[in-house]
Amino acid sequence: MCGIFAYTGKKQAGVTLLDGLTSLEYRGYDSAGIFLPERGGIRAVGAVGNLKKKIPTDFEGHSGIAHLRWATHGEPTEDNAHPHRDCTSDVWVVHNGIIENWKELKRDLESRGHVFLSETDTEVMAHLVEQELSDGKDFESAARAALGRIRGTYGMAIQSRAEPDVIVGARMGAPVVLGLGDGENFIASDPSPILKHTRTVLFLEDGEMAVIRPNSYKIFKLGGDTVERAAQEVDWSPEEAQKGGYEHFMLKEIMEGPEVIKNTLRGRLMFEEGMAKLGGLESVKDELAKIERIIIVGCGTAYYAGLVGEYMLEEHAGIPVEVELGSEFRYRKPVLNQKTMLLAISQSGETADTLEAIREGKRKGAITVGIVNTVGSTIARETDAGVYNHAGPEIGVASTKALVSQITALALLTLFLGRQRKMSDSDAEEIISQLSLLPEKVQKILDNKAAIEAMAAKYSDSRDFLYIGRKYNYPIAFEGALKLKEISYIHAEGCGAGEMKHGPLAMIDEKFPTMAIAPSDTVYEKLASNIQEIRARRGPVVAVATEGNDDILSYTKDVIYVPETIEMLQPILSVVPLQLFAYYLAHAKGFNVDRPRNLAKSVTVE
């Protein structure tokens, strides 16, 4: 969602904050703004570059707060951009989240004479602090009292001209991290803008506020109790979040696929024992041996990874699995118990709907496990156990390398749970062997990216696309369509190939192409029949097929070949050319693939 960044210390705050906003831009780019107590506030519609153009050369100070907005309440206008201020322009606020009771608070404040300048929910917070200050409280106490009056989701930073070196941060449902430096401290939505300055960080929990000064910090419960928590070191370097010579983060992240798989597997494959070593599951190992059911919860790409995991876990671990959208799960009354594992998949570890699913699972006694990429994230902290992806930061809004890592982690989990049950030595050895070969096989696909780019250019004028797959590649059809929709704005639909005759086939004509995921697996012949049905209606077909399959050329000449692997790992190889195809097609149309319109990287509100 939105991104917040705050600084107090000895550096020039304006330069520091603007630089940090650039690294946070994947969280939103509808508008941007900055406030320094010595110089005031400046806001602009659009990305950080638009804000930088408005900054005067003498915009200097040693503390401040800044914001990137992904619009929720109010259109993306300058009036609605953060930071928001009170009537006196002394109190300023940046906020990620939604204040649910903002309308009633606004009515009360207006009755007391407060004048509002925006349509946003956030502005009420500045006026609440102003009101508490007018009642005689100091800034820290006024901020705490104001926080106690709001309901909803927030990651927040608040500053007052009266105490310019002091910044108050708070968290309820939206991520907030402190960066602890030498004579300087930071508050941010995630570690990315902090890493150039310090790797020592401390994550706030829900219901906590922090008060930072250049040489100190304090953490409290909103009720007033002091919180003692050790800081931790983040092992990402600032360079990891840079493009590394690629034109877009998305392409860089696709090309990192082989290394991501290696990192996800590193130290986890026990070749001699035929086991997966998952240290994050050791504490619940005995409980997992007794589970009778798994529910996987995710949103977007993570949901499709979960669907692949369903096939893996049922076929190779022998456990019944259901896969649920996090956005729907929280509105049901799911039947859970102590023999249910609730598995949450989230790249950011902050996805609001998925987080609420975990909390529902814990209330009902389920064992909660996470597959997340972000160390110290809320889902990582609130689950009973988990598996880190180790994929490194993913900046492109359209998830690519995180999905590859998630499916790899699901394969490891399948091996772990399967060996607790009836998976044979030979099956385990085959899975381990094929997992270890995946990096070089993905690299082989990436080495063919020029041919995929040419294929994408051929179809770049398409208005529609159908993606079809079966069995393990059924979810990948939906993921491929999602990638095309996200970054090229082409109407694309995923479809189980067996469902074509139940409706989707009606759309097919010579101007409606199909991407057919057709590896040489147990359902290849059925998929080939589906391709024939499309070709009989003059529909163009692009096929993803296994190397050495010349039969596919009798149906279409537009073929992207991928190496052979075992069926359960095929989705990892199938999805990579679909990611490249979507990237090159969107790039051919001139779109900014890293910043698809109307979308943000981390969805931390409903």
**Nearest residue to 562 via CA among 463, 466, 476:** 476
**Residue for token digits 């993921």?**
479
CA distance 164 to 186: 14
Please identify which of the residues 106, 252, 471, 601 carries the catalytic annotation: 601
CA angle 446, 449, 450 (to 5 degrees): 150
Counting Cα atoms < 13 Å in the Cβ hemisphere of 494 gives: 20
Collapsing DSSP to helix, strand or coil, 226 comes out as strand
Beta carbons within 8 Å of 88's beta carbon, 6+ residues apart: 130
**Nearest residue to 96 via CA among 171, 32, 181:** 171
Beta carbons within 8 Å of 573's beta carbon, 6+ residues apart: 438, 441, 442, 445, 519, 562, 563, 565
CA distance 33 to 52: 9
**Residue for token digits 């800081």?**
231
Please identify which of the residues 2, 106, 441, 449 carries the catalytic annotation: 2
**Nearest residue to 383 via CA among 281, 294, 268:** 281
DSSP β-ladder status, 340-346 and 367-372: parallel
CA distance 207 to 187: 16
Question: Can 2 be counted among the known catalytic residues?
Answer: yes
Counting Cα atoms < 13 Å in the Cβ hemisphere of 346 gives: 35
| Dihedral sign (CA 309, 314, 318, 322) | positive
Could you write out the DSSP letters of every residue in 41-86?
EEEEESSHHHHHHH--TT---SEEEEEEE--SSS-S-TTTSSPEE-
Catalytic residue annotation: 2, 601
